[in-house]
Amino acid sequence: MKKKILLVGGCGFIGHNLALKLKALGHEPTVVDSLSINNLKSINEEGVVNKKLYSAILENRIALLKENNIDLIIQDARQYHEISKLYSNINPEIIVHLAAVSHANKSNKDPHTTFDHSLRTLENTLDFAKSNKIHVIYMSSSMVYGNFNSSDVDEDSKCDPIGIYGTLKLSGELLIKAYKQVFDLPYSIIRPSALYGERCVSRRVGQIFIENAIQGQDITINGDGEDKLDFTYIEDLVLGIASCCDNDNALNQTFNLTHGKSRKINELLDILKKEFPNCNVKYSEREKFMPERGTLKTNKAKKLINYNSKFSIEDGYIQYIKWYKDFWKKFNA
């Protein structure tokens, strides 16, 4: 059944891919974004690398939304009265909250901005949604778990985040559950992990590897490369979120939406080397705020919303590399 779905912070990496998928599945997505965090309005800030390349990728996101007749409304979700009025005018059945600073290192360096764009935008969203019992889907993170106490975790595992990013994500989860208790607000919480895929400019591991290799720059590994991450292709994640939009079993639940099997960073690097055999790799001291992670079990999502990850890194990362090579060629034409 066709649903009106509002994506707050929807022009980001996850958001625009989700909007395209929802549209393809027959829904009516609307994107709201200030374009000020890791997007067009901030791309020329001091310290941003590959500015021209990232601008081209971000413009490609917007072009794809336009080509698919998906409305993009430029509005700062921190502004309570303006965003509340906008929500009322759109009258969505589901709100997907994606607004956030998308990198843990940035969060630790600038906690105020992280709080402002993560929890303030979420509180504004929840305050509107509570009146009409609108289903809110919240994009959390695997970082809420902190150091894994075993090789894998499920949704009931202890959450003990390290640093600002994971702590604010967990705070968002607790706030949503409080709105459920007090206002009976329906929700779904999504915990993705180590995402990679087309049109990412968030400086994630998989993205940086390709960018540096394609430009002939050194690839620096944080630690010895033996850390394990549950690398997840963006296509799997957006299909999982779409399932939450379509399935009542997703209501008032928390889901790990990942590939469901962790892999060593060095294994991702091995795949890259097949496409870039001459790339130069260096290893650096492991960052102290980087938690020791592993596999996020997806059994719950499989059972309740029929989630099924399709892409291992041998499949998904190869596709991503091929896309990047093609985009790079066009960018330099």
- The 8-class DSSP code of residue 91 comes to -
Query: How do residues 306-330 score in pLDDT, each as one tens digit?
Result: 999 999 999 999 999 999 999 999 9
Give the residue numbers spanning the domain of 111: 4-195+233-260+295-311
CB 151 within 8 A of CB 294: yes
69-88 burial: b if 16+ Cβ within 10 Å, else e: ebebeebbbbeeeebeebbe
CB 226 within 8 A of CB 264: yes
The predicted pLDDT at position 260 comes to: 97
**How does residue 297 score in pLDDT terms, banded at 50, 70 and 90?**
very high
Q: Average pLDDT in the 224-239 region?
A: 96
Please indicate, yes or no, if residue 279 is contained in any of the structural domains. no
Please indicate, yes or no, if residue 272 is contained in any of the structural domains. no
Indicate which CATH number applies to the domain containing 17.
Answer: 3.40.50.720
Residue 122 pLDDT > 80, yes or no? yes
Two tokens at 241?
A: 């979120």
- State how far Cα 254 lies from the chain centre: 16
Please indicate, yes or no, if residue 138 is contained in any of the structural domains. yes
Query: How do residues 198-210 score in pLDDT, each as one tens digit?
Result: 999 888 899 999 9
Please indicate, yes or no, if residue 227 is contained in any of the structural domains. no
CA dihedral 179, 180, 186, 190 (to 10 degrees): 80
Please indicate, yes or no, if residue 269 is contained in any of the structural domains. no
165-203 burial: b if 16+ Cβ within 10 Å, else e: bbbbbbbbbeebbebbeeeebbbbbbbbbbbbbbbbbbb
Number of domains comprising the chain? 1
Please indicate, yes or no, if residue 288 is contained in any of the structural domains. no
| Of 273, 285, 314, 279, residue with least CA distance to 225 | 285
| Statement: the pTM of the whole predicted model exceeds 0.85 | yes
Please indicate, yes or no, if residue 278 is contained in any of the structural domains. no
Q: Could you tell me the CA-to-CA distances from 159 to 141, 153, 184, 211 in Å, in that order?
A: 11, 10, 24, 33
| Of 45, 46, 41, residue with least CA distance to 58 | 41
| Of 11, 60, 322, 47, residue with least CA distance to 203 | 47
Residue 56 pLDDT > 80, yes or no? yes
Three-state SS at 264: strand
Please indicate, yes or no, if residue 271 is contained in any of the structural domains. no
The predicted pLDDT at position 107 comes to: 59
